[in-house]
Copies of this chain bind each other. A is one copy, B any other.
């Protein structure tokens, strides 16, 4: 049921004709309340798409009553006209919802907007707005799955999740298959909850969750212009969880979606967890994990089923983390192929035939740790990203 699992939400997914494939491309998520509190986290890229600039403004008030999302066009690098298109989309959505729901009177400022697809082209508004109209008509308490399908781009499957609190629920959907990077990915994610929570509590929970989930998946090191994660609360359960309970459930939902994103990364044949342990602090552990996750030579070696620990150590050596080069241990799928910075157990005993790979790096510099997730660099990645514009 995804975003419609918690009480108080309706959703829809329709085909507006933005994609030449004829696949669904417009999604709508509506919060019927009684509350409409919200929080958002956005791309750290300084080149931000129009819908990101718009939704950041909307979120400032801590209230979001609806989210309209489209695939088939990112509306990024489109200048003022692109921003006007986003504004018009929010305005049209608000007006269509006001007419349809009867109960609520919405303004454009109540509507967040998300877009994903090719950068640098204007959206065909003559197709998008009729799509929004159809989505409003199609809204239902079971529309979460259709919404999750309508935001897909190169994803091979929709990503949805549910995390249960005590008498309340978090639901979510996400898209993203390439451009996954620290400080997020070309990913859109909408999370909903029927918990009672103010904007500050939602913001704290969402930031804590993103920091250890979406911010630690790194598919290809490329940061997108459109990344958006939204958390909407309806309060329909009547239950106000503690900050910790809320953060735990939101983190569980984000973790589940993040793993689905990395599992479906463009052209990946391996799903790689990089566990960095023995770090002086968590930042060091994350920096080392990211350096390994972004190293094309490590990623191609793993695509070739080669437990090339030398390339891993060379990647670790590019960081500013605290460690001594001749103290580092590296294990690949449980075999400690490197001890004290030199060859140890027989690398030929490493089994890399499966899809899951775990690299464990012990810096021997402290007691902190972190895990970063990535995938390999394959022919299919090169093919997908050279043959198609995104």
* A interface residues, Cβ below 8 angstroms from B: 44-48, 74, 76-79, 82, 118-121, 178-179, 220-225, 294-297, 300-301, 303-304, 306, 308-311, 313-319, 325-326, 338, 340-343, 377-379, 381-383, 385-387, 389-390
CB–CB A318/B223 < 8 A? yes
User: B82 and A222: CB pair below 8 A?
Assistant: no
What does DSSP make chain A's interface, helix, strand, loop or mixed?
loop
Given contact pairs A382-B303, A386-B303, A120 touches B338 in the complex (Cβ within 8 A): yes
Q: Which residue of B lies closest to A82 (CB)?
A: B342
A304 in contact with B387 given A314-B222, A342-B78 (CB within 8 Å): yes
For residue A229, give the distance in angstroms from its CB to the closest CB of chain B: 18
Most buried by B among A46, A223, A315, A338: A46
With a cutoff of 8 Å between Cβ atoms, the chain B residues found around residue A382 in the complex are 300, 303, 377-379, 381-382
Copies per complex of this chain: 2
Q: Bound complex: CA of A257 vs CA of B316, how far in Å?
A: 28
Choose one: B306, B341, B379, B383; the contact of A389 (CB below 8 Å): B306
The answer to whether B300 touches A386, judged by C-beta atoms less than 8 angstroms apart, is yes
Residues of B within 8 Å of A342, CB to CB, are 77-79, 82, 120
Contacting residues, chain B, for A326 (C-beta < 8 A): 79
With A297-B220, A338-B77, A343-B77 as contacts: A313 and B47 at CB distance below 8 Å: yes
Q: A308–B179 Cα gap in the complex (Å)?
A: 14
Q: Are the C-beta atoms of A221 and B296 separated by less than 8 Å? A: yes
Contact A308 B389 (CB under 8 A): yes
B121/A343 in contact, CB under 8 A: yes
Do B223 and A314 touch across chains, with their CB atoms under 8 A apart? yes
Give the docked Cα–Cα distance between A223 and B178 (Å): 24
Q: How far is the CA of A315 from the CA of B259 in the complex (A)?
A: 25
Q: A178–B118 Cα gap in the complex (Å)?
A: 31
Q: Given B121, B306, B338, which contacts A386 in the complex, CB threshold below 8 Å?
A: B306
CB distance from A185 to the nearest CB of B (A): 12
Q: Are B338 and A179 in contact (CB under 8 A)?
A: no
A224 partner residues in chain B, CB cutoff 8 A = 314
How far apart are A252's CB and chain B's nearest CB, in angstroms? 29
Do B296 and A222 have beta carbons less than 8 Å apart?
A: yes
How near does chain B come to A320, taking the closest CB pair, in angstroms? 9
Flag if B46 contacts A317 (CB, 8 Å). Answer: yes
Q: Provide 30 A-B residue pairs closer than 8 Å at the C-beta atoms, listed in order of the A residue.
A: A46-B317, A46-B325, A47-B313, A47-B316, A48-B325, A77-B309, A77-B338, A77-B342, A77-B343, A79-B326, A79-B340, A119-B308, A119-B313, A120-B310, A121-B343, A179-B314, A220-B296, A221-B294, A222-B296, A222-B311, A225-B310, A296-B296, A296-B381, A297-B385, A301-B389, A303-B382, A304-B387, A306-B389, A379-B382, A382-B382
